[in-house]
Each structure stands twice: as C-alpha cells, then as structure tokens.
C-alpha cells in the first residue's frame, strides 16, 4: 500500500500522534504542511523542502532568514545586519506573498509587509517545512508564493535538556537553554526553550559609520496530555527586543518589537476513520518607535477546525472552517488607523490514491470584510512511471488580501481588490538508488491586480501585473560519511506591464551544502551564488558566499563548533546602500542530554 493514504484504523493514531511534530525517527520525515495531513516528504505532489534540526545546528544561523537563503528560490533582502528589516521572495513573488506559520499558526502581520523572520530564533525550531506554489485553497491569504511552517522543538519520548553559548564577531553573544519531557504511559508532555541574542552589529548603511545593534529574548513553551482518543496541548512563543538602525537622514534611531503566537489545540478521534482538530490561536505583532510616536500593532484571534475522514482505504477527505478576528492599529508618518477585520472561510480537499495515479483536489471559499467572496482552488495529479520515478502536474490559484496600510494608511484605498494569481506546474522526481535523488519543477505564475501607489490619483490601486516563470531543481547525494545537497533555479520574475525585472529577485541562484561527518567531528561547507538583481536606486551585482563550520564532539554530550561566515570576505549587497557582514567568526559550546 502507498504510504500516502493510510488505512482507516491507523488514521486516528497517525493524526493524533504528537511525534509528527517531534523528532523524526526515519530517514523519510513526515510533512503536514503540503496537504494539512501527514505524508512522507518524498510522496508529496507539491515541491517541498524540509530543514531538519541537524541542519539547523550545523549552520549556526542567527535567524530563520539565514537558514532559508541556503535554498535556491528563496531570495533574502535585508536592510543591514541582524534584526534589520528582512524580506523573503519565494520563487520571485513579492515579500508579502509567503504565508509564515509557527506550529500551524499564521504570524503574518495585518499592518504591512511579511512575517518578521529576523526575530525568529533557530534555537526553538525542530524543523521547517517549506511548500512552494499556491496554497490559498488550504491556508487563505498570502499563500501566493508558498507556505513556511516553523515547527518548534518537542520530544518523542523521555527527557532532553540542552544548554549552549555562542560568541563571535561584532561582539555577538547568544545564550540558549531548553528542556523537554514526555511520559509515554500517561501521555503527558511539556517543554520550554529560551534564548537571548545580543550583538553590537555594524553600520547598516554604506554611507554611515555608526554601528547599530540588536537584541532578542525568545521563549517557547508547551504543555500537553493525550488520553485515549483525545489530545490537548497549549503552546506559546514570544520574541521581544530592540533594533537599532539609522533613518533616511542617517540619524541613529531604534525601535522595540514584540512577536508572539499562542495556541490551544484539541485533537480527537471519534471514530477510527474520523480525526478532528480544533485550534484556537492568538498572535501579536508590535513595533514601537522610540524617537517618534510611530507604531504598528496587530492582534489576531483565530479558530481553525479541521476534519480528516478516511472514505476508503485510498481516499482521504479533509474539510474545515476558519474564522479570525483581527485588530490593526498604526501611526506611520502621521497617517493612522484603528481597524477591525473579520475573515470567515471553509475549505475542502480530496486526496485519492489509485496506485500509479494520485489525485488531489482542494478548494476554499473566503469571506473577507474588505472585498467580495474569494474562491481559491488547487489541482494536482501524479503518475508513477516506476517505483523510482514520478511525474506530476498541478494548477492552482491564490490571493493576498490588501492589508490595513493598503486600505487605510497613507494614500489608502478601502475599495482595493485582493491580489490574485494562477500558477501552472510540471514536476519530476527520480530516485537513482539509495544514494542519489533528483527533483525538477517547471512553473509559470501569473499575478494580477498587484497593489501599487498611483501617482496620478495619489492612492493605492490595483494597477500592476507580474509573470514569473522558470525551472528549479534539487539533487541530494549521501554515501557513508558524505552528504551533498544542490539546489538551483533559473527564473524570470518580471513586471508584466513594463517587462522589467522585479526588484531584489535574482534570475539565477545556485546553492550547495557539503558535509562530512565522523563520530568525533563534522565539517560543513555551504555555498551560495546569486545573480544580478534590480533595486530602487541601483542594480545589485551578482555575488558568491561560502560559509564553513567545524563541529567537534570531544567528550560525551559536549559539542564545540567553529563557524566562519563569508569565508571569502565577499563585498555584496542584499538591498541598495545597505551593508552586509564581512568575514565573521563564531564559536559555540553546547551540552546536550537525552
């Protein structure tokens, strides 16, 4: 039987199992983001990337953005060093076209821009699931370029504790501690992870000589209990701190920030063939300027009720409803608003496995305060030529609802329509043998009604279009102590009205990660090459980065790591006139008990 569709008696056990969100015990991890149900990563029809805990520890990344940039098709733009405003462009789409979740809870703000990736500490993360392509049919607004689900750390069984300290260039320090426990008999589990990151930083602008620092205090905690067919868990993540930068006139300024997400999740299996999940969540996204009265606040309460029904051994039906109530308040350069927005939605997905043929159909109806009802859909078909080779074809639509700043901020327009997209895709996955795997995808994404400022009417309007088409591939090799991962993308992200290349997005990107691991030590080398990019005031040159990490396990549970970032001391820009790190050195000492 294909592992994609689970026999009815096993459905409830699999969907209720907390181990789906904990440590993977297999070489082929389950992913839940692509279809909202557990599937083997290699069996998903959508392009999926899984970043494991082991990879996170080896890279010693300061934030999630530093992790993501090691994969082609995930362009990062940053206005300076750690903690500075950071944007992600997935497959060439805009920075607010990627939906970001923490443990299934959407954290994109309702004011302006994308999720604050620069404030998410890798120390709390067990793994990251990245799904490329439209996913509004399952998750709603923002999922035009794809979805990133950050799954926090938990323990499958027993007790685990860890403590670590990192020191490095720019007077950087990072203190981390975590402890998790799970009792297999009673089903009780709990855990807490904390970290404190602090750096003096470096000048954010190329025309400034003033160092600008950043600090981040993060806590992530959970407590849960499983009793028979019912599982209940409460979780909470919060990141807060201060970011220093310089304004347009190069004056030193700073801001306080806070991001948080809390959830209460109830899972139950009333029948062997029916599993249901109710998630109540609350998020905040806050920025307070300290040299002015400017601020942005988002508060969102949401209810997500999902039901998974095994119709037959080879057909899984997923149906659910979503309701959210959001309050956004802001004062930006003298323009302010205080708005409440409600969103109601219903979604349905049918997943049918017919042996060599695999079909997935999904649709979502969204009722949003700001515009007429939106219907989003996805269709995917996979055909297995052999046990080693599978072809796939997919089509789907997605949308982004105009945020409160678009509607009520400076030049705001309450009558804006959502940005919409249609994406077509072809894919190939091939396993040469147990050591080599290859995947290739070709995509064509057309985005309509892009929201831009109209200088003729002095308002925000749906006046632009974009087309992004290209091909991307990934190759993985493993043999004995060696591991190699190569990802590449060739794309054409262009404004469909002017034919110009979209800002801060490269047409070609190549990444490679090579590691060699022994019992006492490991060596990791990461390589990134990105092509030329456009920006508002100038063109950005192509660049190449090399990072290297040496791990030492001298005794028992102790781990020492040395990392060299930007080994070749490349001078490059991710945003015009904004600096990036020079060659940097970091040392970490960690103790892990489990």
Q: What CATH number has the domain bearing residue 278?
A: 2.40.170.20
- Position 28 scores a pLDDT of 63
The model's pTM: 0.95
Please give the structure tokens belonging to residue 365: 């109806």
Q: For residue 322, is it within any domain?
A: yes
Per DSSP, helices labelled H in 312-461 are: 404-408
Residue 127 pairs in a beta bridge with: 151
> What number is the average pLDDT over the span 102-114?
94
Nearest C-alpha neighbor of 242 from the set 204, 288, 209, 202? 288
Residue with tokens 């589990």: 189
Residue 293 pairs in a beta bridge with: none
| Residue 23 banded pLDDT, cuts 50, 70, 90 | very low
Q: For residue 566, is it within any domain?
A: yes
> What number is the average pLDDT over the span 328-356?
94
The conformation of residue 18, written as its DSSP 8-state character, comes to G
Nearest C-alpha neighbor of 491 from the set 529, 438, 444? 444
Q: For residues 588 and 166, give the distance between their C-alpha atoms in angstroms, rounded to a whole number.
A: 4
Q: For residue 2, is it within any domain?
A: no
| Residue 15 banded pLDDT, cuts 50, 70, 90 | low
Q: Report the domain count for the chain.
A: 1
Q: For residues 79 and 246, give the distance between their C-alpha atoms in angstroms, rounded to a whole number.
A: 10
Top pLDDT among 537 and 321 is at: 321
Question: pLDDT tens digits, residue range 77-93?
Answer: 999 999 999 999 999 99
Q: For residue 1, is it within any domain?
A: no
- Position 40 scores a pLDDT of 84
Please give the structure tokens belonging to residue 363: 């649709």
* Sign of the alpha-carbon dihedral angle for 10, 13, 18, 24: negative
Range of the domain at 31: 8-593
Answer whether residue 228 shows pLDDT above 90. Answer: no
Q: For residues 475 and 435, give the distance between their C-alpha atoms in angstroms, rounded to a whole number.
A: 11
The conformation of residue 503, written as its DSSP 8-state character, comes to B
Question: pLDDT tens digits, residue range 230-278?
Answer: 999 999 999 999 999 999 999 999 999 999 999 999 999 999 999 999 9
Q: For residue 288, is it within any domain?
A: yes
Answer whether residue 179 shows pLDDT above 60. Answer: yes
Q: For residues 5 and 162, give the distance between their C-alpha atoms in angstroms, rounded to a whole number.
A: 37
Q: How many CB atoms lie within 10 A of CB 340?
A: 11
Mean residue pLDDT across the chain:
93
Nearest C-alpha neighbor of 141 from the set 421, 369, 401, 451? 401
Q: For residues 289 and 292, give the distance between their C-alpha atoms in angstroms, rounded to a whole number.
A: 6
- Position 156 scores a pLDDT of 76
Top pLDDT among 306 and 1 is at: 306
Q: For residue 3, is it within any domain?
A: no
- Position 245 scores a pLDDT of 97
Q: For residue 579, is it within any domain?
A: yes
Answer whether residue 336 shows pLDDT above 70. Answer: yes
- Position 232 scores a pLDDT of 96
> What number is the average pLDDT over the span 215-241?
96
């Amino acid at each position: 039987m294909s592992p994609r569709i689970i026999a009815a008696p096993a459905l409830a056990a699999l969907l209720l199992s907390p181990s789906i969100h904990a440590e993977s015990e297999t070489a082929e991890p389950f992913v839940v983001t692509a279809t909202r149900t557990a599937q083997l990563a290699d069996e998903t029809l959508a392009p999926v990337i899984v970043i494991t805990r082991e990879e996170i520890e080896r890279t010693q990344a300061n934030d999630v953005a530093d992790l993501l940039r090691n994969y082609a098709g995930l362009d990062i733009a940053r206005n300076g060093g750690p903690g500075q405003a950071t944007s992600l462009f997935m497959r060439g789409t805009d920075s607010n076209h990627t939906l970001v979740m923490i443990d299934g809870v959407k954290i994109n703000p309702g004011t302006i821009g994308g999720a604050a990736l620069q404030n998410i500490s890798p120390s709390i993360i067990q793994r990251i699931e990245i799904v490329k392509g439209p996913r509004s049919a399952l998750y709603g607004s923002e999922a035009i370029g794809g979805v990133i689900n950050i799954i926090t750390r938990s323990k499958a069984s027993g007790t685990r504790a860890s403590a670590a300290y990192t020191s490095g260039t720019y007077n950087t320090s990072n203190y981390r501690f975590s402890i998790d426990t799970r009792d297999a008999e009673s089903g009780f589990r709990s855990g807490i992870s904390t970290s404190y990151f602090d750096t003096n930083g470096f000048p954010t602008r190329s025309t400034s000589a003033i160092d600008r620092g950043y600090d981040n205090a993060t806590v992530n905690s959970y407590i849960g209990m499983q009793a028979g067919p019912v599982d209940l868990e409460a979780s909470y993540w919060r990141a807060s701190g201060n970011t220093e930068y310089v304004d347009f006139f190069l004056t030193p300024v700073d801001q306080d920030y806070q991001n948080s997400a809390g959830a209460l999740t109830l899972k139950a299996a009333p029948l062997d063939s029916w599993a249901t999940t109710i998630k109540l969540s609350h998020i905040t996204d806050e920025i307070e300027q300290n040299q002015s009265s400017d601020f942005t606040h988002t508060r969102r309460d949401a209810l997500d009720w999902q039901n998974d029904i095994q119709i037959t051994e080879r057909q899984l039906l997923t149906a659910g409803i979503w309701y959210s109530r959001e309050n956004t308040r802001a004062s930006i350069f003298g323009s302010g608003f205080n708005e409440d927005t409600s969103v109601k939605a219903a979604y349905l997905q049918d997943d049918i496995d017919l042996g060599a043929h695999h079909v997935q159909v999904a649709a979502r109806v969204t009722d949003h305060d700001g515009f007429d009802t939106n219907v989003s859909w996805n269709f995917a078909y996979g055909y297995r030529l052999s046990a080693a080779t599978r072809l796939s074809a997919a089509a789907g639509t997605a949308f982004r609802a105009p945020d409160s700043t678009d509607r009520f901020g400076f030049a705001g327009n309450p009558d804006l329509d959502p940005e919409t997209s249609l994406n077509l895709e072809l894919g190939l996955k091939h396993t040469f043998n147990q050591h080599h795997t290859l995947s290739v995808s070709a995509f064509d994404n057309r985005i309509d009604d892009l929201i831009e400022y109209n200088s003729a009417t002095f308002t925000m309007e749906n006046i632009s279009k974009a087309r992004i088409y290209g091909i991307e591939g990934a190759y993985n090799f493993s043999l004995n102590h060696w591991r190699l991962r190569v990802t590449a993308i060739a794309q054409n992200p262009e404004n469909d009205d002017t034919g110009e290349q979209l800002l801060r997005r490269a047409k070609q990107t190549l990444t490679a990660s090579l590691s060699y691991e022994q019992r006492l030590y490991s060596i990791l080398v990461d390589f990134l090459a990105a092509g030329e990019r456009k920006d508002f005031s100038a063109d950005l040159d192509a660049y190449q980065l090399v990072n290297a990490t040496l791990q030492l396990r001298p005794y028992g549970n102790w781990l020492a790591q040395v990392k060299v970032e930007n080994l070749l001391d490349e001078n490059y820009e991710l945003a015009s006139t904004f600096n990036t790190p020079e060659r940097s050195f970091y040392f970490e000492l960690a103790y892990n008990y489990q």
